[in-house]
Amino acid sequence: MEEKLKVALIHDDLVQWGGAERVLAVLAEIFPDAPIYTSVYDWDNPLITSHFPRERVRTSFIQKIPGWRSFYKALFFLHPLSFESFDFTGYDLVFSQTTRFAKSIITKPKTVHVCYCHTPPRFLWHFSGEKPPAILSLLLNTFRIYDQASSQRVDFWLAGSKNAQKRLKKIYRVESELLYPFVDTDSFQDTEPFDGGYLLVVSRLNGYKRVDLAVKAATKLRLPLKIVGVGPKENDLRKMAGPTVDFVGRVSEITLRDLLSGCRALLVTAEEDFGLTPLEAMACGKPVIAFGQGGVLETVVEGKTGYFFAEQNEDAVLDALAKLDRKGYNQKECLRVAQQFSKTQYIRQFRKLLAPRLDMKS
């Protein structure tokens, strides 16, 4: 089916390995001959290079800027131009996956542009809750106008969650089809849950992720806490952390499965667009304690697979943990929910949604 189409895949950047990159890896399997266009590509990250071979990736002019790894996010004002600079002449389908500017590509009239959007840019539309410095306000206002205008280049929208659908409707005034991301449930089949006694956070250590809530809660009651991930807030978090908090850093997929299998509960302290890690925890038969906003409301079942807290403070986190200890959770329900978001289900739904538009066989 795909051999009839000349396809290109577009992704914001290939620097860190996360949920969006897992989805891209499956898209790369569905379209094995499709090149991957992106702003920058970190060939020093083995998780990136193992899934996306260097010869398959096409990078923008930002890649040529010396030392870009240290400040590529600060170059956000160049990213729209970097995607506009790509030439997609001759392609039948371009498939952009984005939380930022990959949708800004320019295509020929005969080319179908499908955008799989997990959220409009958080830093532009303040979904993260972080307000920019006043000096940036004028620049960001200009980019908001650009972001809305460039969204009109998309022919067909897919949203990664109901949460994302609402944002697309509000910001871009477009309708979208729902396509949930997946968790690779097959890779968790051999995992056996055990009681390691620790709480677990798996997150990029950015400010809006609010990992500080988990650190403060664990430090307050001297609860064992393991934190998987790296990011700009790591030093600040280490300073506030007590002796029971362990910063694990980056880990392999196998190590992550082991950590999820042994945790007392996974903590999700920010509003997530969707959130794959909660599903991975449930695939390991483990509960989730989460801030009750955003995508977790579409996956976590209150009282069965986890508990929500309504306010972002350490006492609210501790109250939810106490509720878990008092009322417990249903391990079988965790496994059942995770199976609803399997890779097989994702591919089946993907083909179903695109078949009418691209003459793909479902």
Tokens found for residue 260: 């999820």
Per-domain residue ranges of the chain? 2-182+342-358, 185-339
Cα distances from 87 to residues 90, 149, 184, 196, in angstroms, run: 9, 20, 33, 52
Strand order in the sheet with 198-202: 245-249, 225-228, 198-202, 263-268, 288-291, 306-309
Identify the residue with better confidence: 168 or 72.
Answer: 168
Interatomic CA distance for residues 48 and 37, integer angstroms: 14
Tokens found for residue 57: 């990736």
Q: How confident is the model at residue 82 (pLDDT cuts 50, 70, 90)?
A: very high
CA atoms within 13 A on the CB side of 177: 16
Sign of the Cα torsion 56, 57, 58, 61 reads negative
Identify the residue with better confidence: 139 or 29.
Answer: 29
**Which one-letter DSSP state was computed for residue 131?**
P
Interatomic CA distance for residues 346 and 352, integer angstroms: 10
Tokens found for residue 13: 């950047």
> What pLDDT was estimated at residue 256?
94
Domains 2-182+342-358 and 185-339 share a fold: yes
**pLDDT over 90 at 131, yes or no:** no
> What pLDDT was estimated at residue 120?
94
Identify the residue with better confidence: 120 or 131.
Answer: 120
Interatomic CA distance for residues 86 and 40, integer angstroms: 13
Fold of 2-182+342-358: Rossmann fold (3.40.50)
**pLDDT over 60 at 362, yes or no:** no
pTM: predicted TM-score of the whole model, two decimal places: 0.84
Other C-beta atoms within 10 Å of 94: how many?
Answer: 26
Helix axes 137-150 and 162-172, enclosed angle (nearest 10): 100
Interatomic CA distance for residues 345 and 354, integer angstroms: 14
Residues paired with 307 in a beta bridge = 289
C-alpha dihedral over 160, 163, 164, 165, to 10 degrees?
A: 100
Cα Rg for the chain, rounded, in angstroms?
Answer: 20
Tokens found for residue 255: 């190590």
Cα distances from 115 to residues 90, 193, 223, in angstroms, run: 18, 37, 42
* pLDDT tens digits along 97-119: 999 999 999 999 999 999 999 99
Tokens found for residue 217: 């809660």
Tokens found for residue 155: 């022919």
Tokens found for residue 235: 């030093």
Fold of 185-339: Rossmann fold (3.40.50)
**pLDDT over 80 at 134, yes or no:** no
> What pLDDT was estimated at residue 359?
60
Other C-beta atoms within 10 Å of 67: how many?
Answer: 7
